[in-house]
Amino acid sequence: MKKRILLSLLCAAALVLCAGCGSSTDGGSGSGESSSSQVEEKTSFGVGETYEGDGVKITLNKVEENEGTQYLKPDKGNTFIVCEFTVENGSDKELLISAASFDAYADDEAISLSISASYEQGKDLSGTIAKGKKLTGIIGYELPADWKELELQYKPNLFLDKTVNFVATNA
């Protein structure tokens, strides 16, 4: 009988603890910080700006147009755009990154990577980065010559809805 009472009390205590761990309806984190600090977290970055999160820093160093090489040229009316990034891994585990980690939009229209745009321009933004190390590489696209805005969306964690945007404009 004593075992049943003790077991019932333990179950009740576990339920109370689990209820306390659930999400609150006000969106607060329970740490005493206001939820507005989470809402105001910067998610859009321009050329030369750095995203920092989970021990990782990603900087869009530069965005340059080029006309290609002798053998690899953009289609008529288009230009190659090369985006150079530096990724620093300050986390405690290896980081895998690739150009495919980014979704790209030119003037709000989805675009694909262009291997021709990156060829002979430099090192691809692709590889495994050991903790405490960094990687600088490029991603290339072929865009209409009159493009206005290029948006590169990076999702740091596939399991979360968070997206980081890098935006370049054609002045």
Residues 75 and 120 in one domain: yes
Residues 87 and 111 in one domain: yes
Across 1-10, 38-47, 157-166, least confident range: 1-10
Structural domain including 105 reads 44-169
pLDDT score of 137 more than 60: yes
Residues 48 and 111 in one domain: yes
CB under 8 Å to 152, separation ≥6 — which residues? Answer: 60, 83, 102, 103, 104, 139, 165, 166, 167, 168
Average pLDDT, the chain: 79
Distance separating alpha carbons of residues 53 and 65, to the nearest angstrom: 29
Residues 58 and 22 in one domain: no
Residues 25 and 101 in one domain: no
Q: pTM for the whole thing?
A: 0.73
Residues 15 and 56 in one domain: no
Instruction: Domain count for the chain, please give it.
Output: 2
Residues 118 and 35 in one domain: no
